[in-house]
């Protein structure tokens, strides 16, 4: 009985943090989808499969990727900043850097989505737009390579170590609320 309860406690403890790890994998995947489409077509006509994959990427970056940033900035970062744990105090300046990277990546991803929408609507991109798109995608991939490394290897393990069960449950509830209260985006 004690063993079952203990397992349940562990499972509940890691689930919201696991979701944050999984989102990093998904973000990397959708950036690679865009980079591959660019590489294969140079911004010219897309196959139906490529068109569909890019449409899914647009929706992902306008919904789940934005919510992922909110999960970190509204649920995880403030609790780390409020912690008296020594390692969390050391992490405060890293959190400020992570927030700046969110702003920079967000700005570039909005540009990526605008260019993707133009590509899907017009059937092809002008050479200049294809260049901008490639530049933004490459820059976001570079930002996220170091950003995710910091979160996956330092920040999330620290959060797992110092957050109480109560805090984890609060984070879980906040993450669910963010995903059940919003409207769905319109592609066109």
Q: State which residue, 98 or 125, has the beta carbon closest to Fe ion.
A: 98
Q: State which residue, 54 or 151, has the beta carbon closest to Fe ion.
A: 151
Would you state the structure tokens that stand for residue 21, as one six-digit string? 């790890």
How far is Cα 173 from Cα 12, in angstroms, rounded to an integer? 11
Q: State whether the Cα torsion 75-174-17-139 is positive or negative.
A: negative
Size of site (CB under 5 A) for Fe ion: 2
Q: State which residue, 129 or 172, has the beta carbon closest to Fe ion.
A: 172
Q: By CB under 5 A, what part of segment 126-155 binds Fe ion?
A: 151
Terminal-residue alpha carbon distance, the chain: 54
Asked whether 98 and 155 are in contact (CB, 8 A), the reply is: yes
Asked whether 171 and 75 are in contact (CB, 8 A), the reply is: yes
How far is Cα 171 from Cα 160, in angstroms, rounded to an integer? 12
Q: Does 71 bind Fe ion (CB under 5 A)?
A: no
- Identify which range of 69-77, 104-112, 115-123, 179-187 contacts Fe ion by CB under 5 A: 69-77
> Is residue 86 exposed (0-12), middle (13-18) or buried (19+ Cβ within 10 Å)?
exposed
Q: State which residue, 46 or 72, has the beta carbon closest to Fe ion.
A: 72
Shortest distance (Å) from residue 42 CB to Fe ion: 31
Shortest distance (Å) from residue 148 CB to Fe ion: 6
Shortest distance (Å) from residue 110 CB to Fe ion: 16
Here's the x/- map for Fe ion, 151-180, by CB under 5 A: it reads as x-----------------------------
Q: State which residue, 124 or 162, has the beta carbon closest to Fe ion.
A: 162
Q: Does 72 bind Fe ion (CB under 5 A)?
A: yes
- Identify which range of 10-18, 43-51, 67-75, 84-92 contacts Fe ion by CB under 5 A: 67-75
Listing DSSP states for 109-149 in one string gives HHHHHHHHHHHHHHSS--HHHHHHHHHHHHHHHHHHHHHHH
Q: State which residue, 41 or 167, has the beta carbon closest to Fe ion.
A: 167
- By CB under 5 A, name the binding residues for Fe ion: 72, 151
């Amino acid at each position: 009985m004690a063993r079952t309860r203990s397992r349940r406690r562990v499972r509940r403890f890691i689930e919201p943090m696991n979701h944050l790890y999984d989102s990093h994998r998904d973000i990397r995947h959708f950036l690679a989808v865009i980079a591959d489409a660019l590489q294969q077509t140079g911004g010219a006509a897309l196959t139906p499969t490529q068109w569909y994959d890019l449409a899914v990427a647009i929706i992902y970056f306008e919904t789940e990727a934005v919510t992922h940033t909110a999960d970190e900035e509204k649920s995880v970062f403030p609790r780390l900043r409020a912690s008296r744990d020594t390692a969390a105090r050391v992490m405060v300046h890293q959190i400020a850097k992570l927030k700046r990277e969110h702003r920079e990546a967000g700005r570039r991803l909005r540009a990526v989505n605008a260019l993707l929408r133009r590509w899907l609507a017009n059937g092809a991109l002008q050479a200049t737009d294809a260049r901008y798109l490639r530049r933004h995608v490459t820059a976001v991939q570079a930002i996220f390579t170091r950003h995710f490394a910091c979160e996956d290897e330092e920040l999330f393990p620290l959060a797992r170590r110092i957050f109480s069960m109560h805090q984890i449950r609060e984070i879980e509830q906040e993450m669910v609320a963010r995903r059940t209260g919003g409207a769905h985006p319109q592609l066109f």
